[in-house]
C-alpha cells in the first residue's frame, strides 16, 4: 500500500490572540481566520486570562500585545518560554525601543510587528511563521544592526535581568514594586540597580532615567 502521508495537507496551526483592545483583537482574529493554515483556539484581553488560555489550549502560535494588563506581554513571553516552549510568539506593539527589542530577542520571540503597520504586514508575519521562519519589520532590523555595531551598547554591558530591571525603573516602578513583579527580594533589586548604575557609569536615579530616555524606553 502506498504511503501518501507526505501529500496530505498539514494540520492547521493552533493560535491564540491576546490583546486588550477589542477592535484590534477582532481584526486580528478575522485576519487569522481567513488563512486556512491557522485555527483560532481562543482569545483573551489580559495577561492572566491569556496565560490560563495558553495552559488550557497549548497553542502552536500566540499573537501577543506587549501592552496588556497584568502580567504584561514581556512577562508573559517569559512564562511561555519557560513553561510552553513549543508555543511561538508573534509580538504586536507600538514600542520599538532598543531595550524592548533586546528583551524580546532574549526571550526567543519569533516575530515582531508594530501596531502602526498595515494588516498586510501581519499577514506576511503569519506566512513566515507558518513556514517555520521568523519575521521582523525594517525598523526592528535597523535597530538591531545599530546595536550590533556599537561595542558599548547596553546589551553588551547589562545582563538580561539587569535590562529587565532597567526597563521597569524607566517605567517609574519603585524597588519594592519591581521586587513584587519579578518575585525577588527588595535587597536583590537594590543590588541589581547598583550594578546597573556602575556598569553604565551613572551616579543617581536621575542619570539612570536620562540613560533610559536615550534608548527610547517606553513603559509597558
Mean pLDDT, consecutive 10-residue stretches, the chain (220 aa), reads 57 96 94 94 96 97 92 88 95 81 84 90 94 87 68 72 84 87 90 88 82 63
Q: Same structural domain for residues 61 and 127?
A: yes
Look at residue 5 and tell me if it is in a domain.
no
Look at residue 189 and tell me if it is in a domain.
yes
Q: State the alpha helices, DSSP H only, in 135-185.
A: 138-148, 160-170, 175-182
pLDDT for 51 = 97
Range of the domain at 167: 157-214
Look at residue 194 and tell me if it is in a domain.
yes
Look at residue 58 and tell me if it is in a domain.
yes
Q: Same structural domain for residues 136 and 30?
A: yes
Q: Same structural domain for residues 142 and 115?
A: yes
Q: Same structural domain for residues 116 and 193?
A: no
Contact 163, 155 (CB under 8 A): yes
Q: Same structural domain for residues 69 and 32?
A: yes
Look at residue 6 and tell me if it is in a domain.
no
The domain boundary, picked from 99, 123, 148, lies at 148
CATH number of the domain within which 70 lies: 3.40.50.2300
Q: Same structural domain for residues 140 and 161?
A: no
Decide: residue 157, CB within 10 A, 0-12 exposed, 13-18 middle, 19+ buried.
middle
Fill in the DSSP letter of residue 10: P
The domain boundary, picked from 148, 175, 195, lies at 148
Contact 68, 19 (CB under 8 A): yes
**What is the reported pTM?**
0.72
Q: Same structural domain for residues 142 and 171?
A: no
Q: Same structural domain for residues 31 and 133?
A: yes
Q: Same structural domain for residues 132 and 191?
A: no
CA 67 to chain centre: 9
pLDDT for 214 = 67
Three cell numbers, residue 126: 503569519
Q: What is the DSSP string of 65-125?
A: ESS-SSS-HHHHHHHHHHH-TTSEEEEEES---HHHHHHHHHTT--EEEETTS-HHHHHHH
pLDDT for 198 = 86
Number of domains in the chain: 2
Q: Same structural domain for residues 96 and 138?
A: yes
pLDDT for 147 = 65
Q: Same structural domain for residues 17 and 96?
A: yes
pLDDT for 36 = 93
Q: Same structural domain for residues 138 and 166?
A: no
CATH number of the domain within which 165 lies: 1.10.10.10
Amino acid at each position: 500500500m502506498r504511503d501518501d502521508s507526505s501529500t496530505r495537507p498539514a494540520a492547521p496551526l493552533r493560535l491564540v490572540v491576546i490583546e486588550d483592545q477589542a477592535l484590534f483583537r477582532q481584526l486580528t482574529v478575522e485576519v487569522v481566520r481567513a488563512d486556512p493554515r491557522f485555527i483560532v483556539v481562543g482569545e483573551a484581553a489580559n495577561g492572566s486570562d491569556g496565560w490560563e488560555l495558553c495552559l488550557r489550549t497549548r497553542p502552536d502560535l500566540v499573537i501577543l500585545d506587549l501592552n496588556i494588563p497584568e502580567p504584561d506581554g514581556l512577562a508573559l513571553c517569559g512564562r511561555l518560554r519557560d513553561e510552553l516552549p513549543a508555543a511561538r510568539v508573534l509580538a504586536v506593539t507600538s514600542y520599538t525601543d532598543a531595550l524592548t527589542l533586546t528583551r524580546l530577542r532574549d526571550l526567543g520571540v519569533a516575530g515582531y510587528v508594530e501596531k502602526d503597520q498595515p494588516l498586510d504586514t501581519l499577514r506576511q508575519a503569519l506566512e513566515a511563521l507558518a513556514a517555520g521562519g521568523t519575521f521582523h519589520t525594517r525598523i526592528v532590523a535597523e535597530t538591531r544592526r545599530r546595536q550590533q555595531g556599537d561595542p558599548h551598547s547596553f546589551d553588551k554591558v547589562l545582563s538580561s535581568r539587569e535590562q529587565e530591571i532597567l526597563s521597569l525603573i524607566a517605567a517609574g516602578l519603585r524597588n519594592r514594586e519591581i521586587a513584587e513583579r519579578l518575585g525577588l527580594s527588595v535587597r536583590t533589586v537594590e543590588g541589581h540597580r547598583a550594578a546597573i548604575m556602575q556598569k553604565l557609569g551613572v551616579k543617581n536615579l536621575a542619570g539612570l532615567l536620562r540613560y533610559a530616555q536615550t534608548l527610547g524606553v517606553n513603559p509597558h
